[in-house]
Structure 1
Amino acid sequence: MTEDILTKNLEKFSRVLGEDMAANTKELKQEFKMIRVKLATMEDNFIKLDNKYKLCQEEITEMKNKIGALEAKVCDIEDRSRRANIRIRHIPEEISNENLESFLLEFLKNLILGGAPHDHSMDRRHRLPRPQNAPETYTRDVMVRFHSYQTKESYGSDEE
């Protein structure tokens, strides 16, 4: 009798254990299936992000190239805008800003041999700031912007 009870209990335990294992196995299979789906989705998202990253890198490289080209253009434009400028040194400080234009016109006329008629059109003229650590007796340079590059060239290419 004890043996029969033990056998029955063992069979019952085996059946319950089998049912539990089957239920747990079914749950695990569903969880693994969900994990595979999530992993596949994550892989797809990773591939998409990687492609976007590569596109961004290409765009950044392209933008850097464009910025470099634009900086070169700006430098060229700035250099060209200064072509008609001339720096004149050692003009006495006693000449006021109001009299600077007439002084420069006379100075430039005398610079051309024989004072021949010449276009002396100036757009702007002004004294430059005194360099740092320059003595008080230092005469500030005068920057003159001629109306055309040809006018500037007629005085020679030496800017000093």
Structure 2
Amino acid sequence: TSPPPATLLPIGDILADIKSVFDILNNIATDTTNITAKVSDINSKLDSMDECLDEMENRISHLEDNKEGRAGKMANLDKKFMKAWDRIKDLENRSRRSNICIMVLPEVIEEGKPMEFLSKFLPEILDLPSGIEIERAHRSLAPCSKPSQRLRPIIMCLPKYQTRELILLKAREKQNIVWENHKLAFFQDLSKEVQQKRRAFLKGKQLPRDHGVKYSMAYQATLGVHHEGLLNTFQTLE
């Protein structure tokens, strides 16, 4: 038997199907156009991001270069500052070369006239010639000491360096200087930094002192030991 004849669709249905296909293709074309536009926008943004990253890398590189340059400048400035600071401290100590600190004198014993008091007191206590010339004298610049606190030292400035050396020599010779139950001490007027450096030699000075060997301290903190006609100097005890 032969197959039944094919059924022909109405022309209207065919046209409707064709129109539907064209509509789908148009939608696909529209979507493709939108996708292409979005991809183009994304590419544009990526290009912009690449430019930003390049600029950031350049800036970071520039900052790193500047940092290295500034680090070098800061190191140089630190060296200059420390050098200037050392000069300032040296000038400060040299300005005190003619000064002497007298420790443990009772407060207000000078009755507001320290120069007059010291000019009479020093010859008596140290067996010095009368008429010692004193340029100025005062208590250290701090509030008046309370009974439980350490007494403020008297600082006096002598116009002649030789007079200062004579007073310190007499004080060393006497060693134990007691006045009205107060054990007095005479020191050079030095900055805290130099005092700390010299304090490191306390044990080092004890050895020559115990053996009767002559020693001295040179500015700023150099220990000199005189032995068999030679002067041996030490910057540290190591």
Please state whether the residue corresponding to 1:155 is helix, strand or coil.
helix
1:91 and 1:141 in contact (8 A); partners too:
no
Alignment of 1:49 with 2:63, yes or no, is yes
Q: Which structure's relative contact order is higher, taking Cα pairs within 8 Å and 6+ residues apart?
A: 1
* Deviations 1:41-83, CA, capped at 9 Å, x for gaps: 1221222222223333333333333333333333332222222
Which of 147, 150, 157 aligns to 2:159? It is 147
Q: Does the 8 Å contact 2:137/2:157 carry over to 1?
A: yes
Aligned length in residues: 154
Structure number, greater radius of gyration: 2
The answer (yes or no) to whether the contact 1:93–1:140 under 8 Å persists in 2 is no
Partner of 2:147: 133
Please state how far the C-alpha of 1:106 moved relative to its aligned partner. 4.7
1:8 and 2:8 are equivalent in the alignment:
no
Higher deviation after alignment, 122-131 or 23-32: 122-131
1 or 2, which has the higher helix percentage?
1
Matched-pair contact (CA < 8 Å) for 1:93–1:139: no
Q: Specify the alignment match of 2:81 in structure 1.
A: 67
Letter in 1 for 2:94: R
Segments of 5+ residues of structure 1 without an aligned counterpart are none
The answer for unaligned runs of 5 or more in structure 2 is 1-13, 173-185, 188-238
- SS state of the match for residue 83, structure 1? coil
RMSD: 3.5
> TM-score under structure 2 normalisation?
0.50
Aligned equivalent of 1:124, options 129, 133, 136: 136
**CA separation of 1:35 and 1:142: change in aligned 2, threshold 3 A:** closer
Aligned partners of 1:84 and 1:146 also within 8 Å: yes
Q: CA deviation at 1:37?
A: 1.3
Q: Distance in 2 between matches of 1:22 and 1:47?
A: 37
Determine the C-alpha separation between the residues in 2 that align with 1:22 and 1:93.
Answer: 98
Quick one: distance in 2 between partners of 1:62 and 1:132?
Answer: 47
- Structure 1 residues 41 and 97: CA distance shift in structure 2, 3 A: same
Q: CA deviation at 1:34?
A: 1.6
Aligned AA (1:151) = T
